Amino acid sequence: MRILVTGGAGFIGSAVVRHLIRHTGHAVLNLDRLTYAGNLDSVACVADHPRYQFVQADICDAAAVRACLARFDPDIILHLAAESHVDRSIDGPAAFMQTNFQGTYTLLEAARHHWAALAPARQARFRFHQVSTDEVFGDLGDSGGLFRETTAYAPSSPYAASKAGADHLVRAWQRTYGLPTLITHCSNNYGPYHFPEKLIPHMILNALHGRPLPVYGQGDQVRDWLYVEDHARALVHVATHAPAGETYTIGGHNEQRNLQVVQQICALLEELAPERPAGVARYADLIRFVADRPGHDRRYAIDAGKIGRELGWRPQENFESGLRKTVAWYLAQRPWWGRVLSGDYRLGRLGVAS
């Protein structure tokens, strides 16, 4: 099939693109605006493949989106383009409302008109797949419960609210116009090619440079961690096999407190990078507790039973194996993150091994 991936130069989107090219026979169009988090270095290893195309465009640009759909003629739209950093959404929510909400509306309208013009057989297999987040469900607190497909929305941050709004648009377009849609909610992703502002790569790179490892509050916030390549497999499987109108929660079955995550990173670095920066006796000595951020949810956790029962997907990595692979990747791929930290990644493409 022909699969259009929005945000395919981002962290999860690039994992999806790499998976599609390496492990399927589908053709891929990567549509990405290339904001600060979009990095063509992350897809350099598949960029010359004959089944891969890239277009730099903004999903809020209706004319550009329509042109892409008319030229590429997709069977599936995997919609990952989004502003996604909670701290940035607190400091500047407008960009999140524009990209995550308005951009999804623009894409839905283009998809609706594209789908309506398809032959009946192609209409039946077309899917618009909205990739959402568990953050739309809010805070589990100390309830001991799990997020499921039927959990009510209760977003806490501007980021989560913008994604919740986009999800509601997708459901409305399915109900009102019959557009064949899918929605998936994922837990916290981690793995190779993760932009260094996020927790795990931020801690790895700060530790390697002998800088403080800032932990919000007492580090007792709990997240369910999902290895990004496991998530990419799940997304492609849902997009190509799930019935229209379905929703799935996707998690790694790996609940960890934030402080535990940072401590495990430090332990792995002691093993894999024993030559510590000057003046650092132990990586764990760099941990610093800082003031918590506003509206910080205490716990997220996902029940991924439905996708396992109905589609047969399960994560291949547990947190220990995935984190080891992640730390080892960052140690081996200094050129990739060095270009991110310097800003040179905005200037051109770099070949990076996976």
User: The domain containing residue 150 runs over which residues?
Assistant: 2-194+226-253+300-318
Q: What percent of the chain has pLDDT over 90?
A: 91
Listed range (107-111, 217-221, 225-229, 236-240) with the worst mean pLDDT: 217-221
pLDDT tens digits, residue range 73-118?
999 999 999 998 788 899 999 999 999 999 999 999 999 999 999 9
> Residue 346: what residue type?
R
What pLDDT does 350 receive? 55
Catalytic residue status for 159: yes
Residue 352 has pLDDT above 70, yes or no: no
Q: Which of 74, 96, 71 lies closest to 85 in space, CA to CA? A: 96
In a domain, 282, yes or no: no
In a domain, 258, yes or no: no
pTM of the complete model: 0.94
H helices, E strands: number in the chain: 13, 12
Read off the pLDDT band of 8 (50, 70, 90): very high
Read off the pLDDT band of 347 (50, 70, 90): confident
Assess contact for 147 and 301: CB atoms under 8 A: yes
Q: What percent of the chain has pLDDT over 70?
A: 98
Read off the pLDDT band of 11 (50, 70, 90): very high
Query: What's the CATH code of the domain at 146?
Result: 3.40.50.720
In a domain, 68, yes or no: yes
Q: Which tokens hold the place of 91?
A: 């400091």
pLDDT tens digits, residue range 49-65?
999 999 999 999 999 99
Alpha-carbon torsion (340, 257, 305, 132), positive or negative: negative
Assess contact for 278 and 199: CB atoms under 8 A: no
Using CA atoms, how far apart are residues 123 and 101, in angstroms rounded to an integer? 25
User: What is the maximum alpha-carbon separation in the chain?
Assistant: 67
In a domain, 276, yes or no: no
Residue 351 has pLDDT above 80, yes or no: no
Using CA atoms, how far apart are residues 334 and 347, in angstroms rounded to an integer? 17
In a domain, 344, yes or no: no
Give the count of beta carbons closer than 10 Å to the beta carbon of residue 290: 12
In a domain, 266, yes or no: no
What pLDDT does 226 receive? 97
What pLDDT does 154 receive? 96
Q: Which of 52, 105, 159, 227 is catalytic?
A: 159
Alpha-carbon torsion (332, 189, 142, 145), positive or negative: negative
Listed range (24-28, 52-56, 293-297) with the worst mean pLDDT: 293-297
What pLDDT does 349 receive? 54
Residue 237 has pLDDT above 80, yes or no: yes
Using CA atoms, how far apart are residues 160 and 2, in angstroms rounded to an integer? 30
Assess contact for 42 and 59: CB atoms under 8 A: no
Using CA atoms, how far apart are residues 5 and 81, in angstroms rounded to an integer? 8
Number of folded domains that form the chain: 1
Read off the pLDDT band of 68 (50, 70, 90): very high
Give, as one character, the DSSP assignment of residue 119.
-
Using CA atoms, how far apart are residues 91 and 86, in angstroms rounded to an integer? 9
Catalytic residue status for 134: yes
Q: Which of 58, 135, 224, 317 is catalytic?
A: 135
What pLDDT does 84 receive? 82
